[in-house]
Structure 1
Amino acid sequence: MEKLVSDTYLVRLLEGISSLHAQKALCDVTLEAEGVCFPAHKIILASASNYCKILFVGNLTRVGSLDHNIHLKAISAAGLRNVLNFIYSNKLDLSLQNIEETFKAAETLLVREVIKLCFKFLEGCLNCENCMDVLNIAKKLGLAELRQKATCYVGQNYKQILADPQCLKDLDRGTLCEILDRTNTEGCSELELFRAAVNWLQHDRTRLEDAADILRHLQEALTYQSLLYAQPLLQTQCTSLRSSSTTLLIAGG
């Protein structure tokens, strides 16, 4: 017996399901987030979401019925909408602006395909322009593997990142310290590291509270490169010394 497969059947089936969802036809359950209700179909949700499968099948087994309104407290309405759109259309709209709420919704509902696509999207954003955003998002979401990849990327491209005023502006203290801790490769001079740290501190007066910690990480980075370095120190009228020859000495302790 030969089994035949139709190339168009799954496409038409998905189109039909999406059409029912758009028309809110035959819906038998409502998901609610932030006061916004999303009519849906149990069988579709249970097929795509392990959370919904456990919730629906488990309740039916225990009590024979299920509350038709499911309130989800841990996710945003926008994130839930994006995940539901994927479930019904196989299309996911992602950006650095909505990735966090989309990932949280997918994680809560246990929609593995969306989680995978979120990882793939963030990895694709690893460039000098967006790597800091990716690193910060990975930290917020607790994505250890992605955070490690982003940190490695930063470590490999730190010279360009530290030289970019916008990147320095957007850095938080922890990320800057991570960069300084990873500057154990060649290509960035002591003076460039010093300038980057000072520029970061001077960008916002509230950052001066972190000056001691930043300078400690800076000293450790410079000490790693050499036990003793001497580099020209830029002078101003306020910091000029009597000697015409000026050096900045960083001694390892």
Structure 2
Amino acid sequence: MREEQPPYKSSSVYNELRFEGKFCDAIIKVEDVEFPVHKIILCNCTPYFRALFTSWSDPDKQVFNIPGLSPEMMALIIDFAYTGSVSVTEENAVELLMAADQLNVMDIVKICSDFVGEQLCAENCVGIWQFTKVHLSPELRAKAFHYIISNFEQVVLQEEFLQLTVEELDDILERDDLNVQCESTAYEALIKWISHVPAEREQHLIALLSKVSAERYQPETNQWSLIASMHEQRSDASCTTLHSRIYICGGFNGNECLQTAECYNPETDQWTMISPMNSRRRGIGVIAYADHVFAVGGFDGNRRLRTAEAYNPQTNTWNLVSSMLTRRSNFGIEVINNRLFAVGGFNGFTTTFNVEYYDASTNRWFKACDMGIFRSALSCCVVSGHPNLSDYTIPRDSLTCLNVPEEAAEST
């Protein structure tokens, strides 16, 4: 068990008043349990409650229902807000981290992340890494991933390894620092993963083989060959293909968010730097749309972005387009029926379920039907044969039009 105290301490007087039920100006309700609280104390703990009390609700509202977490976790978070202390155990660490992430209580997220990080082993590192894709904890995610890379030969022997998604296995195999005694280990691990569910996974064999030792596989000649390295190291970037070229944009180089972008030509095996974007972006959404490469949203190192820009390969220029309705990073992006969809993500305060779409013909964003679940660090795909897009979009004539001055329409 661990009890932590962050750099600040709330007054014990407020805590006494809370237990006495005096001067409380709000009730937090979770399921059927009510917690009388002082708004000012919770606002000091997390921007989530500040937004809830000041922006998302009527000023006279007193009872606030909080979904998605248990009364026990809410009690721990409220106690933390008043006392600056929280008890983290093996039994509650993961659930508490999830609740703290939902409410953006970053001090508790860090405390729980540190605690869970100390429990890492070959049996649980994959599950913890997967967990941090949904519940943002960059430090824990990096620590779990480093453990997987450093102890890959032991991790492969565990049941959790077989539960990796194709995208996750791709991320692992492409690492130059993957710790294996010989290259055949990575190949054998890949075959083991595919053999676990061959009917579903055989289709990914060629794509994943191309990531082993950063080599490209030519099925016609049954040969492997190394491909050229990018000009910059980058993680948390995003890429797309347009006109037989691969474009990768933004990301993080370990020190700063990037605004650079580069293009790969598979015929010449060369990466070429293209014009930089107008903004630094990590957790960015990149997709080919309307014969352009669109770079949408992301995080610039200070805040989540609404801005979007489009790259024209013919002129090697980026041009700003209309900004999204919602700030977001680490979201899903896809094009269907000539509309660009932005799905979920993280808005700087919490994971979101909001969905919107962009129409290049009008250079406007429109609301779409929201998801039923909060999602971040997600992926999207288009499934053909389901022409039901109209079920998820709001008719434009049913939306209220707002005249937004150009100078306010977007600088962020």
Q: Can you list the C-alpha shifts for 1:206-231, whole angstroms capped at 9, x where unaligned?
A: x531223145313541574x99xxxx
Give the C-alpha shift of residue 30 in structure 1. Answer: 0.6
2:27 aligns to what? 30
8 Å contact from structure 2 (residues 175, 213) kept in 1: no
Give the C-alpha shift of residue 69 in structure 1. Answer: 0.7
Give the C-alpha shift of residue 83 in structure 1. Answer: 1.3
**Which stretches in structure 1 are left out of the alignment for 5+ residues?**
1-9, 228-248
Q: Which is richer in helix?
A: 1
Q: Can you list the C-alpha shifts for 1:128-170, whole angstroms capped at 9, x where unaligned?
A: 33321221122112445543443333222212211x2323234
Q: 1:186 and 1:92, CA in 2 relative to 1: closer, same or farther beyond 3 A?
A: closer
8 Å contact from structure 1 (residues 80, 105) kept in 2: no
The answer to whether 1:52 aligns with 2:49 is yes
The answer to whether 1:81 aligns with 2:53 is no
The answer to whether 1:138 aligns with 2:135 is no
The answer to whether 1:106 aligns with 2:103 is yes
Q: Which has the larger radius of gyration?
A: 1
1:200 aligns to what? 193
8 Å contact from structure 1 (residues 180, 221) kept in 2: yes
1:216 aligns to what? 207
Distance 1:115 1:93 in 2: 11
- The letter of the residue matching 1:195 is E
1:168 aligns to what? 161
2:112 aligns to what? 118
**Which stretches in structure 2 are left out of the alignment for 5+ residues?**
1-7, 226-412
The answer to whether 1:153 aligns with 2:150 is no
TM, length-normalised to structure 2: 0.41
Q: Which is richer in strand?
A: 2
The answer to whether 1:252 aligns with 2:224 is yes
Q: 1:222 and 1:17, CA in 2 relative to 1: closer, same or farther beyond 3 A?
A: same
Q: Can you list the C-alpha shifts for 1:21-63, whole angstroms capped at 9, x where unaligned?
A: 5x5632432112345432223343244334434655x58xxx9
Q: Can you list the C-alpha shifts for 1:55-87, whole angstroms capped at 9, x where unaligned?
A: 55x58xxx9x632212334x4234433312322
Q: 1:36 and 1:214, CA in 2 relative to 1: closer, same or farther beyond 3 A?
A: farther
Q: 1:41 aligns with which of 31, 38, 43?
A: 38
Distance 1:99 1:144 in 2: 16
Q: 1:185 and 1:216, CA in 2 relative to 1: closer, same or farther beyond 3 A?
A: same
TM, length-normalised to structure 1: 0.62
Distance 2:144 2:33 in 1: 35
- The letter of the residue matching 1:180 is L
8 Å contact from structure 2 (residues 43, 49) kept in 1: yes
Give the C-alpha shift of residue 88 in structure 1. Answer: 3.6
Q: 1:188 and 1:176, CA in 2 relative to 1: closer, same or farther beyond 3 A?
A: farther
Distance 2:139 2:212 in 1: 25
Distance 2:78 2:151 in 1: 37
Higher RCO, Cα 8 Å, sep 6+: 1
Distance 2:26 2:177 in 1: 56
DSSP 3-state at the match of 2:180: coil
1:182 aligns to what? 175
Q: 1:55 and 1:188, CA in 2 relative to 1: closer, same or farther beyond 3 A?
A: same
- The letter of the residue matching 1:167 is E
Give the C-alpha shift of residue 181 in structure 1. Answer: 1.6
8 Å contact from structure 2 (residues 125, 147) kept in 1: yes
DSSP 3-state at the match of 2:88: coil
Q: 1:191 and 1:48, CA in 2 relative to 1: closer, same or farther beyond 3 A?
A: closer
- Count of residues in Structure 1 that have an aligned counterpart in Structure 2: 208
The alignment yields a C-alpha RMSD, in angstroms, of 3.8
DSSP 3-state at the match of 1:182: coil
Question: Bigger CA drift: 177-186 or 130-139?
Answer: 177-186
Q: 1:208 and 1:19, CA in 2 relative to 1: closer, same or farther beyond 3 A?
A: farther
